[in-house]
Every structure is written in structure tokens, then in C-alpha cells.
């Protein structure tokens, strides 16, 4: 304990010297003793980088909170100081462009270990926080830094599971809810932010509040998809449903883009139908070479029976094919009818007849499928590399133009990672949240999940791929395709204002209400950092 106090005191003294705190060091020490304020070089180094490996920003210290109250005390200290310091919450560090970094500030490491409440309800809270699964209420209370794989394991013990997912489960609850959280279930259930009943949030003023549709609703809608700008999510109450036992996982191929998108749009239009008359998951991806389909999500195809893209006619598309990926969940009660249900749905689709590939696996294995690909890449040293990913929402009315200009144009015939494409229903997204989507009933996610590799191939270099991203933006701008970035990254406030469009005044007003000193998530680069904002001048940029 003595060693811990020495380390905390040293860290506090450095913070005092660097940022000019005016509070008593003993008071700050008392506020943080429940957890750990670390200046260990390994902690600082980890918090200085992220999955993208394209930016680095070193914090002064890293906080490992023992509770939501620890986070509250830290933010309150930052808010109360004469010259504040930035505070950023970090989950699993899977951001791409330094969004969770805090240069010369404090990074709160939310993931790693379970946290509980203090036992004393804070303002607006009715109960303490812990990992709680309610079979009767069909919900789970999860710590904001808990990973979705941990949520899945905890809920499956009760035969339950969340309704909406991300493709990769080693992401934090608070991290995905601060963006949206999407996967192939979103057409039916909406994104993860549409499946949260309430959240506990530490605002930029250091207030710990419980929020829902009924209570503190403005903050509730602000933090969901709010990019960490309004508060740090310390607890989320996640809606659950009975978990299926198994999944029938199906892939079919298309050589015609119009037929591919028509079928995808038809399948997501069935969201209101009984479960027996729709698929549970609808995604897709673009195939430009055989290597992609046989290596991406390698748990699907057997190495002894790889898919030969060259054996399928691409119909003059320059070798490009499109893969529709769909699943049907089932358990013992529906096992006898699953084949007939799938056959009835497939009969209405216009894919290449000889291209149906099917596998059957446990539900948990399907949800955790990308982790298996991660382990394979790690074993080859291909995981910890720069990731110039680009995620876009493209309006349905322009997706064919995007195909011609990007898939068949800018991308060429090589890619160093998967290119996902699938549609979602806009009415499944709550427009009161901070997320912005295209102004159409249906829009597509296009995710270019590429890795920069030192393979000797110029098209795999970081410079080439980042330039390719710029070319895609330029094409969309010149073609008048009104895309919206998902997991957005901009470097000027004007770009952010353009991104939010009509939502910008509300976004700005919410910032001034919940984080007036601009302490939180400065790595997003939406607002000027706290060092340029005085208590008396909250309206300065």
C-alpha cells in the first residue's frame, strides 16, 4: 500500500506542476486512492497508441479506476482546477485515429477487471453498480469498460444474450455505445445504442448521473453515439433476449451488383416479419481476389476446400464478385423446420446458383468468429500494424455510383483487408441520439478494413492506402454522394460542423451543457482542448 501511495503522490505532483492545479494535493490523493493513478512507462506507452497505429499522444498519467466514483473524482478535479487537463476514457484501445488519447492529460483505462459501485447512490442514481443479469427484466448491467465477449459469457449463463452486436466482441461496452455499435443484426434490432435501457454517465462537470428515456433524457441521447464528448459511460443496462443454441451460416455469391443490393434490400425489408420468415443477420462483402474470401473470417471455409473465385464468372466486372452473408438462428424447438425456412428465403434471391456455401456452428462461435481471424493474424505478425480503416454510411440512392467509382475504380484489383457492404433501416436508429446517418430510409455501411503491410507491394503501404482514402472522399464529393463517416475522423471544426449538419447546433449546445470546459475526449479533435478554455469564457474556441 505504501508503494502505491508513493506512486500516486508522484503522479499527482507531476500533474500539479504541469497543469497548475490549485487544489490541495492531499485532497486529490484522497479522491483517487480507491484505484491507481499510474505513471508506469508501460501504462503510459499503451495509452499513447491505439489499434490504428497511425498516431501517438502521450498522457501524463493513466488511471485504473476501482469504481465509477473514481472516474467522477478525477473528472471533478479536472473541472474544478484553474487550468484544467483533458480526460479520455479508453476501452480496448480499438480506435483508429487517436480518438481515446489525451496528450498531457489523463487516460482512464476502463477495461480490465470488474468494478462495482461505492455503495452510495450519486445524484440521479437509484442503485449501486455491478454486473447484474436480470432474467425477469431481460437486461444486464455492465461496467462501461467490460468487453462484449464478457457480456456474452455472463448472459449465456442464464440462456440470454444481447440483441445487437458488433462483428468483433473484444470491444468495450462504453466504446461501442459512444459510436453506435453495428453488425448484421442492425437491420432488425437497430444498432447497439438502440438496445440500451439506461446508462450511468460521468459528465464533464464530474457529475455521476443515471440516464434513460425517462430520466436525464437529454444526456441519455447525447452520450449514445456522442463520441465521448458529453460523458464517460460507467454502466450500461443492455436489453437481452433468449439466446439461440446454433447458427446456420450461409454465403452466396453475385457477379451483378444490382442483383446483390436488390436482394440485400429485400432481406432487410423483412424486419417486421415473424422470425421464421426472415434471416437474423444480413451482411456482405466485396471480393477482388481469392485470397480475401479464403483468409478473412477463416473459420467459415475449410482450408481443404477453398473457394475458387476464378471458377465463377464475374460477368465482365473485372474479376469483382459480391458475397451475401446471412444467418439463421435456431435451437431444439426449431431444428426440424430450419432447412425449410432457409430454402423458402433463398428461393427468392438471385445469386449465382452454384455458389451456396453453408456451415453450422454454435451461436457463441459465430458471434466470436472474428477473434479467430485475429489470432491467426497475430500468429503471423500481421495484427499490430497500421490500420487506415475507412467506414462510411452511403445513401441507398447512390450505392450503385459508389460501386462504379470505388469498388470497380479506385480500389483496383487488390486489397489488404476485407471490404464490407450491407444495408440498414434508418427507422431503427433513434434520431435523438448524437449519431448522424444519411437522410434516406435505407443506407449502406461500407467498411474498408485494410491493413498497411510491409510486403513489398506498393498498394499495401500506409501512404498508398491513406491516399486511396483521400481519393474516395474526393470522388464522393465531386459526384455529390452525401456520405457520412462512421467512427468519424476530422481535423478541423468546420469539417465536424459539415459532418453533423443540422445536428451541429444541438451537438454544440449539449457540449456546453455537459462538458463546458471541454475536458473529455479531446482526441476526437471536435473542440479546442481545455488548456484554451477559461471558466469565465466557455464560448471560446
| From 70, 109, 263, 283, active-site residue | 283
Q: Which CATH architecture has domain 132-242?
A: 2-Layer Sandwich (3.30)
Rounded Cα–Cα distance for residues 422 and 403 (Å):
13
> What is the model's pLDDT at position 168?
97
Secondary structure of residue 46 in the 3-state scheme: helix
Task: Tell me if 98 sits within 8 A of 523, measured CB to CB.
Answer: yes
> What is the model's pLDDT at position 132?
94
Task: Tell me if 181 sits within 8 A of 192, measured CB to CB.
Answer: yes
The ranges assigned to domains in the chain are: 1-117+519-524, 132-242, 246-485
Report the predicted TM-score, pTM, of the whole model to 2 decimal places: 0.90
**HEC string of 463-484?**
HHHHHHHHHHHHHHHHHCCCCE
Active site residue 283: yes
Neighbours of 329 (CB within 10 A): 20
Domain over 246-485 is classified CATH 1.10.3720.10:
no
pLDDT digits (tens, 9 = 90+) for 388-438: 999 999 999 999 999 999 999 999 887 889 999 999 999 999 999 999 999
Residues pairing with 322 in the sheet: 254, 286
> What is the model's pLDDT at position 315?
63
Rounded Cα–Cα distance for residues 282 and 148 (Å):
20
Active site residue 478: no
pLDDT digits (tens, 9 = 90+) for 42-88: 999 999 999 999 999 999 999 999 999 999 999 999 999 887 899 99
**DSSP track, 117-177:** --SS--TT--S----EEETTTTEEEEETT-BHHHHHHHHHTTTEEES---S-S-SBHHHHH
> What is the model's pLDDT at position 304?
44
* R_g of the chain, CA atoms, integer Å: 24
> What is the model's pLDDT at position 15?
54
Residue among 254, 275, 260 at smallest CA distance from 327: 275
C-alpha cell of residue 413: 484489383
What angle is formed at CA 282 by the lines to CA 276 and CA 286, rounded to 5 degrees?
Answer: 150
> What is the model's pLDDT at position 402?
98
- Which distant-in-sequence residues (6+ apart) come within 8 Å of 495 by Cβ? none
Fold (topology level) of 1-117+519-524:
3.30.43
Using 70 as the pLDDT threshold, list the residues of the chain that sit under it.
1-33, 112-130, 289-318, 531-541
Active site residue 94: yes
| From 92, 94, 387, 489, active-site residue | 94
Secondary structure of residue 217 in the 3-state scheme: helix
| From 167, 265, 374, 495, active-site residue | 167
Amino acid at each position: 500500500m505504501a508503494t502505491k501511495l508513493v506512486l500516486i503522490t508522484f503522479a499527482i505532483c507531476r500533474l500539479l506542476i504541469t497543469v497548475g492545479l490549485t487544489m490541495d494535493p492531499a485532497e486529490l490523493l484522497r479522491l483517487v486512492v480507491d484505484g491507481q493513478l499510474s505513471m508506469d512507462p508501460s501504462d503510459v506507452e499503451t495509452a499513447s497508441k491505439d489499434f490504428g497505429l497511425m498516431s501517438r499522444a502521450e498522457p501524463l498519467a493513466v488511471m485504473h479506476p476501482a469504481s465509477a466514483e473514481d472516474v467522477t473524482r478525477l473528472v471533478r478535479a479536472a473541472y474544478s482546477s484553474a487550468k484544467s487537463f483533458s480526460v479520455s476514457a479508453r476501452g480496448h484501445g480499438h480506435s483508429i485515429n487517436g480518438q481515446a488519447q489525451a496528450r498531457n492529460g489523463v487516460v482512464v483505462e476502463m477495461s480490465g477487471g470488474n468494478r462495482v459501485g461505492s455503495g452510495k447512490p450519486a445524484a440521479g442514481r437509484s442503485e449501486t453498480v455491478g454486473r447484474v443479469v436480470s432474467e425477469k427484466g431481460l437486461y444486464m448491467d455492465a461496467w462501461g469498460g467490460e468487453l462484449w465477449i464478457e457480456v456474452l459469457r455472463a448472459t449465456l449463463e442464464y440462456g440470454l444474450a444481447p440483441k445487437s452486436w458488433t462483428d468483433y466482441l473484444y470491444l468495450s461496452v462504453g466504446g461501442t455505445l459512444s459510436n453506435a455499435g453495428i453488425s448484421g443484426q442492425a437491420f432488425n434490432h437497430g444498432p447497439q445504442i438502440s438496445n440500451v435501457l439506461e446508462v450511468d454517465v460521468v459528465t464533464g462537470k464530474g457529475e455521476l448521473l443515471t440516464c434513460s428515456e425517462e430520466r436525464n433524457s437529454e444526456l441519455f441521447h447525447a452520450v449514445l453515439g456522442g463520441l465521448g464528448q458529453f460523458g464517460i459511460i460507467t454502466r450500461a443496462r443492455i436489453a437481452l433476449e433468449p439466446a439461440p443454441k446454433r447458427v446456420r451460416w450461409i454465403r452466396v455469391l453475385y457477379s451483378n451488383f444490382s442483383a446483390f443490393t436488390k436482394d440485400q434490400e429485400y432481406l432487410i425489408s423483412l424486419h417486421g416479419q415473424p422470425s421464421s420468415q426472415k434471416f437474423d443477420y444480413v451482411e456482405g462483402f466485396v471480393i477482388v481476389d481469392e485470397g480475401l474470401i479464403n483468409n478473412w473470417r477463416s473459420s467459415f471455409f475449410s482450408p481443404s476446400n477453398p473457394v475458387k473465385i476464378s471458377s465463377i464468372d464475374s460477368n465482365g466486372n473485372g474479376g469483382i464478385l459480391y458475397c451475401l452473408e446471412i444467418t439463421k438462428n435456431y435451437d431444439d424447438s426449431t431444428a426440424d423446420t430450419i432447412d425449410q425456412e432457409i430454402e423458402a428465403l433463398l428461393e427468392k434471391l438471385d445469386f449465382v446458383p452454384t455458389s451456396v456455401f453453408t456451415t453450422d456452428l454454435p451461436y457463441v462461435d459465430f458471434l466470436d468468429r472474428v477473434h479467430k481471424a485475429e489470432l491467426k493474424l497475430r500468429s503471423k505478425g500481421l495484427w499490430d500494424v497500421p490500420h487506415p480503416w475507412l467506414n462510411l454510411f452511403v445513401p441507398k440512392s447512390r450505392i450503385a455510383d459508389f460501386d462504379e467509382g470505388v469498388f470497380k475504380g479506385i480500389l483496383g484489383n487488390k486489397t489488404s483487408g476485407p471490404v464490407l457492404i450491407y444495408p440498414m433501416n434508418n427507422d431503427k436508429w433513434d434520431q435523438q441520439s448524437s449519431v448522424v446517418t444519411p437522410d434516406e430510409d435505407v443506407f449502406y455501411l461500407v467498411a474498408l478494413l485494410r491493413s498497411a503491410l510491409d510486403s513489398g507491394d506498393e498498394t499495401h503501404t500506409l501512404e498508398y492506402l491513406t491516399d486511396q482514402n483521400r481519393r474516395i472522399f474526393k470522388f464522393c464529393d465531386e459526384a455529390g454522394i452525401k456520405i457520412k463517416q462512421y467512427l468519424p475522423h476530422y481535423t478541423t471544426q468546420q469539417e465536424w460542423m459539415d459532418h453533423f449538419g443540422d445536428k451541429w447546433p444541438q451537438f454544440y449546445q449539449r457540449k456546453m451543457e455537459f462538458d463546458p470546459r471541454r475536458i473529455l475526449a479531446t482526441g476526437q479533435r471536435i473542440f479546442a482542448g481545455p488548456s484554451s478554455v477559461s471558466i469565465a469564457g466557455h464560448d471560446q474556441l
